[in-house]
Structure 1
Amino acid sequence: MVTITLKEVLEKRGKSMYQLSKDTGIRPNTVGQWVNSPESVKSITVDTLDRFCEALDCEIEDIIKHKKDALR
């Protein structure tokens, strides 16, 4: 299972969704989806990940977590 933890990264960095949107040029609705409804994010571009990581000075692993599904 893939989990998006952008909300936690924003909180640790003391940044708002608005600030992240301004810093990255990514639409506020997109940032809001990643933060408020991460389970609804169906596709992720490398460009979006790169912009988030640059703006938040973090690694991809800080934003996206993978946990093996016990049922497989």
Structure 2
Amino acid sequence: MSISVHLDELLAARGMTLSQLANEVGITVVNLSVLKNGRAKAIRFSTLSRLCEVLECQPGDLLRHQPSRETPRRRTR
């Protein structure tokens, strides 16, 4: 997957556990774990917004795009 999730780094920097974050965001630990481990196929903007509020971060602090070497770049005009 070309999107990586940096939830572990943000949790460590804030001294929070996954359970604490799940409670504050209002999602299950299981769903948050799926996101943390890079197995999520999608994330709702409302969930992303709530994560950013609780972690006091921007979406770019949480998610990063890493282009695949296999996929050629398309040129746009």
With the shorter chain as reference, the TM-score category is 0.7 to 0.9
Following superposition, the deviation at residue 69 of structure 1 comes to 2.3
Q: Does 1:6 align with 2:7?
A: yes
Q: Which has the larger radius of gyration?
A: 2
Larger helix fraction of residues: 1
1:67 is aligned to 2:66: yes
Q: Percent identity?
A: 29
> 4+ residue stretches of structure 1 with deviation over 3 A?
none
* 2:28 counterpart of 1:27: yes
Structure 2 gap ranges (5+): 73-77
Q: Equivalents in 1 of 2:14, 2:59: separation in Å?
A: 15
**Could you tell me how far apart the structure 1 residues matched to 2:23 and 2:42 are?**
21
Normalised by the length of structure 1, the TM-score is: 0.87
For structure 1, list consecutive stretches of 5 or more residues without a partner in the other structure: none
RMSD of Structure 2 on Structure 1 (CA) = 1.1
How does the TM-score come out when normalised to structure 2? Answer: 0.82
Q: How many residues are paired up?
A: 70
CA deviation map 1:10-51 (0-9, x unaligned): 11111100110111111111112222x21x111111011001
